[in-house]
Amino acid sequence: MIGNKNRIMKLIAIVCVVYITSFMISGYLPSFTKIVNAEVYKYGSKGETVKLIQTKLKRWGYYYGSVDGIYGSKTLSAVKYFQRKNGLVVDGIVGKKTLEALGIYIKAPTTTSSRQYSSNSQDVMLLARLINGEARGEPYEGQVAVGAVVLNRTRSPKFPSTIAGVIYQPGAFTAIVDGQFNAKIRDTSIKAARDALNGWDPSGGALFYYNPAKTTNKWIWSRPVIKVIGSHRFCK
């Protein structure tokens, strides 16, 4: 009797192994694999995150198709265009770096495998990356002032009303054009972003700033200077 039970248990174990192996071979992987791959979106992907990617790209003038949550050829072209313009690897795959450049931060998977987004952390990290790319090495007050300029623009009718919209406005910031936006971020940049978001404005309400040693833009030189901090002149 005991021998029969042992044989039955062995048979059940063999069936389970065969079952799992067949799923792996056929490509039907368990749900936990989908959670691991949840931060990578590419041609053929579908869902709410793809809609969010399309929405961001459309808002900033990279995508002109429908926001339908289907990663098709138009979305692929838009992603590659965005990656090319922002100093990213141009592979058409939206992984961690491209998501962050888009201002999308996905938390680590939980037991319910839900994906959550924090607009607060998005704002902090986007602003920190801009500060890091534009004012790395400048006095701390000057770093906060660069963040304050972004926030001042969101309150002006002449500019987009969101931090992401201001930062990604075509030609607005050199760091976006030359790829410095994606440089390794420093802790001081994050701290400066938080200080700016908390209301500190060392720029005195400036909407623009420039480095006179680097800029060749004649128009910016005509703007009234409010304050000079480090290498930057802040102006209206």
- Per residue in 209-227, pLDDT (tens digit) is 999 888 878 888 888 999 9
CA dihedral 172, 169, 52, 46 (to 10 degrees): -90
Cβ within 8 Å of residue 106, ≥6 positions away: 38, 39, 49, 99, 115, 116, 117
What's 229's DSSP letter? E
Which helix or strand (DSSP H or E) is residue 225 part of?
Answer: strand 225-229
What pLDDT is stored for residue 108 in this prediction?
Answer: 45
Which parts of the chain have pLDDT scores under 70?
A: 1-39, 105-120
What's 228's DSSP letter? E
What pLDDT is stored for residue 126 in this prediction?
Answer: 92
CA distance 72 to 45: 8
The CA–CA distances, whole Å, from 206 to 30, 71, 128 equal 53, 40, 18
Every domain of the chain with CATH number 1.10.10.2520 lies at 119-235
CA distance 163 to 120: 11
C-alpha angle with apex 18: 16 to 19, nearest 5 degrees? 65
Every domain of the chain with CATH number 1.10.101.10 lies at 48-101
What pLDDT is stored for residue 3 in this prediction?
Answer: 56
Tokens standing for residue 215: 């800029």
With H, G, I as helix, E, B as strand and everything else as coil, classify residue 200: coil
Contact 232, 144 (CB under 8 A): no
Cβ within 8 Å of residue 43, ≥6 positions away: 71, 72, 73, 75, 76, 92
Q: Find where tokens 């790319």 sit.
A: 133
| pTM score of the predicted model | 0.53
What pLDDT is stored for residue 71 in this prediction?
Answer: 93
What pLDDT is stored for residue 11 in this prediction?
Answer: 60
Question: How many C-beta neighbours within 10 Å does residue 74 have?
Answer: 16
Contact 98, 49 (CB under 8 A): no
CA distance 143 to 125: 14
What pLDDT is stored for residue 63 in this prediction?
Answer: 92
CATH among 1.10.3720.10, 1.10.101.10, 3.40.50.300, 3.40.50.12780 for 48-101: 1.10.101.10
Q: What is the number of alpha carbons within 13 Å of residue 191 lying toward its C-beta?
A: 8
- Residue 152 sits at φ, ψ, to 5 deg, of -60, -35
Superfamily of domain 119-235: Cell wall hydrolase SleB, domain 1 (1.10.10.2520)
